[in-house]
Amino acid sequence: MTSDEKKLRDVLQRRFDASSQETRIRPAWLATGTMADLDPEKKTPDLVYLAAHLALRQMAREICRKKFDPASTEAGPGQGNLFSGQLQTRYPAAHKRGEDPEYVVLDHLTAKDVKFNVRRLRREAGAKLRHADALEAWGDEQFAENGKRKRKAA
């Protein structure tokens, strides 16, 4: 990452941090706010603005995914909760494929949001299990029980 890319991520991260207490966070909003920080007088040509906004949205999605990943969630106020350590602090609101997700605080999810995320997580889990099964089958073909390769790699 170049120093300019780092500066850009820092501006976006500050915008994200400033929004962290909001019930809903949308990557598009973070990108728009960041563009306002970078170009407050709106002098950027339309196509350049659009390209920058799309890039910032992608970066904002990455920040949201990393921040709200259950592996990065530390035990907090809900420490006594039966599900602590298993649930994220935010989840994407139900949305159509191709739409920019909104990340909603757990306690503000609707029943539709919960069902959407349960389906999404089960679909992802199924894909990972199929991948693991395929890798295991490949490994079984490649290696003998002693861990040595059965045949030479191509």
Higher-scoring residue by pLDDT: 151, 36: 36
CA distance 91 to 48: 31
Percentage of the chain exceeding pLDDT 70: 87
pLDDT over 90 percentage in the chain = 61
Residue-averaged pLDDT of the chain: 86
The 8-class DSSP code of residue 53 comes to H
Per-residue pLDDT tens digits for 73-103: 443 444 345 555 688 889 999 999 988 888 9
Residues 6+ apart with CB under 8 A from 108: 23, 24
Rounded to whole angstroms, how far apart are CA atoms 104 and 64? 11
Predicted local confidence at residue 13, as pLDDT: 94
Residue type (1 letter), 43: K
Whole-angstrom Cα distance, residue 138 to residue 96? 36
- pLDDT score for 66: 83
pLDDT band of 123, cuts 50, 70, 90: very high
Question: Average of pLDDT values for 123-146?
Answer: 91
Residue pair 58/135 in contact by the 8 Å Cβ criterion: no
Q: Summarize pLDDT for 54-75 with one digit per residue, the tens.
A: 999 999 988 988 887 655 444 3
Give the pLDDT of residue 85: 65
